[in-house]
Chains A and B, each alone.
Chain A
Amino acid sequence: MKKQIEKMVKQPMIIVFIIILIFFTPLAIYSPGENRNRGVVTAIGIDKQDQEYEISLLTFIPTANQSYKEQTSIISGKGGTLAEALYKAQINMGRKVGLAHAKTTVVSKDLLQEDVTNHIDYLSRVASLPENTVFVCSSSSAKKLLEASQGLEQKIGLKLEQLIGFNANIIYVTDTSLEAFYKGYYKRVKSSIIGYLKLKELNGDSQSGGSSKGGEKEQNTANNLIEGGSQSNDIALNDIINEGEAVLLKDGRMVDILSIDELNGINLLNKKALNQIITVNNVELDGEKFDLSYKIKDKKVLINTKFENDIPVFSAQLILGLELVEVKGNHETIVINTEFSKISKDVENALDNQIKKIFTDALKVMRENKTDVLGINEIFFNSNRNSYKKFIEKIEDVDNFIDFVNFKLSLIIQPD
Chain B
Amino acid sequence: MKEQCINIRQACVLILMCIFTNKILLLPSLMFEEAKADAFFAVIVLFLLDIVVLPIFIKLKTMYPDKRLFEILSKKISPILTKFIYCVFAVYFMFKCLLVFSITYVYFKQQIYQDEIIWLILISGIPVINHAIMSGVRAFSRTIELLKWAVLIGFVSCLAFSLFTDLSMPFFFVSTSGEFFSSIFNHIFSFGDYIFLFVVIDRIEIKKGQEKQLYISSIIGMLLVGMLFFLFYAKYQVTAFMHNNALADILVFSVQFNAIGRLDIIAMLTIMFITLFQLEIYSYAFCDCVLNIFPKLNKIFSIVVFDIIFGILYYVFIGKYEILVGSSQFWSPWLGLFVNYLFPIVCLIIILLARRKKNEKTD
Residues of chain A touching chain B, judged by Cβ–Cβ distance below 8 Å, are: 12-13, 16, 19-20, 23-24, 27, 38, 96, 98, 124, 128, 130-132, 175, 177, 179, 182-183, 186-187, 378, 381-382, 385
Using CB atoms, name the residue of chain B closest to A20: B124
6 more CB-based (< 8 A) A-B contacts, given A20-B124, A20-B127, A381-B171: A16-B131, A98-B114, A130-B252, A179-B253, A186-B239, A385-B173
Given contacts A19-B127, A20-B123, contact A182 B239 (CB under 8 A): yes
- CA gap between A27 and B128 in the complex, in Å: 20
Using CB atoms, name the residue of chain A closest to B132: A13
Chain B 153-184 interface 0/1 with A at a Cβ cutoff of 8 Å (1 = within): 00000000000001001010100000000000
Chain B 33-65 interface 0/1 with A at a Cβ cutoff of 8 Å (1 = within): 000000000000000000000000000000000
Using CB atoms, name the residue of chain B closest to A99: B114
Interface residues of B in 233-258 (CB under 8 A from A): 236-239, 242-243, 252-253
- Minimum distance in angstroms from A393 CB to a CB of chain B: 16
Using CB atoms, name the residue of chain A closest to B172: A382
B131 partner, pick from A13, A381, A385, beta carbons under 8 A: A13
**Are B238 and A128 in touch, CB under 8 angstroms?**
no
Chain B 89-115 interface 0/1 with A at a Cβ cutoff of 8 Å (1 = within): 000000000000000000000100010
Given contacts A98-B114, A128-B110, contact A12 B134 (CB under 8 A): yes
Given contacts A98-B114, A132-B253, contact A183 B239 (CB under 8 A): yes
**Are B238 and A382 in touch, CB under 8 angstroms?**
no
Chain A residue numbers with a CB within 8 Å of B124 are 20, 23-24
- CA gap between A27 and B124 in the complex, in Å: 13
Chain B residue numbers with a CB within 8 Å of A23 are 123-124
- CA gap between A187 and B253 in the complex, in Å: 20
**Are B131 and A175 in touch, CB under 8 angstroms?**
no
Chain A residue numbers with a CB within 8 Å of B173 are 385
- CA gap between A128 and B107 in the complex, in Å: 12
The 10 closest A-B pairs by CB, nearest first: A186-B238, A16-B127, A182-B239, A183-B239, A20-B124, A132-B253, A12-B131, A13-B131, A16-B131, A186-B239
- Minimum distance in angstroms from A98 CB to a CB of chain B: 7
**Are B242 and A128 in touch, CB under 8 angstroms?**
no
- Minimum distance in angstroms from A369 CB to a CB of chain B: 20
Chain B 113-137 interface 0/1 with A at a Cβ cutoff of 8 Å (1 = within): 0100000100110011001001000
- Minimum distance in angstroms from B10 CB to a CB of chain A: 19
**Are A128 and B252 in touch, CB under 8 angstroms?**
no
Using CB atoms, name the residue of chain B closest to A16: B127
**Are B134 and A179 in touch, CB under 8 angstroms?**
no
Using CB atoms, name the residue of chain B closest to A177: B253
- Minimum distance in angstroms from B255 CB to a CB of chain A: 9
**Are A187 and B114 in touch, CB under 8 angstroms?**
no
- CA gap between A412 and B299 in the complex, in Å: 78
Chain A residue numbers with a CB within 8 Å of B166 are 175
- Pairs A–B under 8 Å by Cβ, sample size 10: A12-B134, A20-B124, A98-B114, A130-B252, A131-B243, A175-B166, A182-B239, A183-B236, A183-B237, A382-B171
- CA gap between A175 and B235 in the complex, in Å: 13
- CA gap between A24 and B239 in the complex, in Å: 39
- CA gap between A186 and B36 in the complex, in Å: 12
- Minimum distance in angstroms from B282 CB to a CB of chain A: 20
**Are A132 and B252 in touch, CB under 8 angstroms?**
yes
**Are A128 and B114 in touch, CB under 8 angstroms?**
yes
Chain B residue numbers with a CB within 8 Å of A12 are 131, 134
**Are B128 and A131 in touch, CB under 8 angstroms?**
no
Using CB atoms, name the residue of chain A closest to B134: A12
Chain B residue numbers with a CB within 8 Å of A96 are 114
Using CB atoms, name the residue of chain B closest to A174: B166
Chain B residue numbers with a CB within 8 Å of A38 are 114
Chain A residue numbers with a CB within 8 Å of B120 are 24, 27
**Are A382 and B252 in touch, CB under 8 angstroms?**
no
- Minimum distance in angstroms from B171 CB to a CB of chain A: 7
- CA gap between A183 and B110 in the complex, in Å: 22
Chain A residue numbers with a CB within 8 Å of B252 are 130-132
Chain B residue numbers with a CB within 8 Å of A187 are 238
Using CB atoms, name the residue of chain B closest to A375: B168
Chain A residue numbers with a CB within 8 Å of B128 are 16
**Are A183 and B131 in touch, CB under 8 angstroms?**
no
- Minimum distance in angstroms from A179 CB to a CB of chain B: 7
Q: Identify the interface centre among A27, A38, A186: most chain B CB within 10 Å of its CB.
A: A186
- Minimum distance in angstroms from B33 CB to a CB of chain A: 12
- CA gap between A66 and B239 in the complex, in Å: 45
- Minimum distance in angstroms from A42 CB to a CB of chain B: 15
Interface residues of B in 172-226 (CB under 8 A from A): 173
Using CB atoms, name the residue of chain A closest to B173: A385
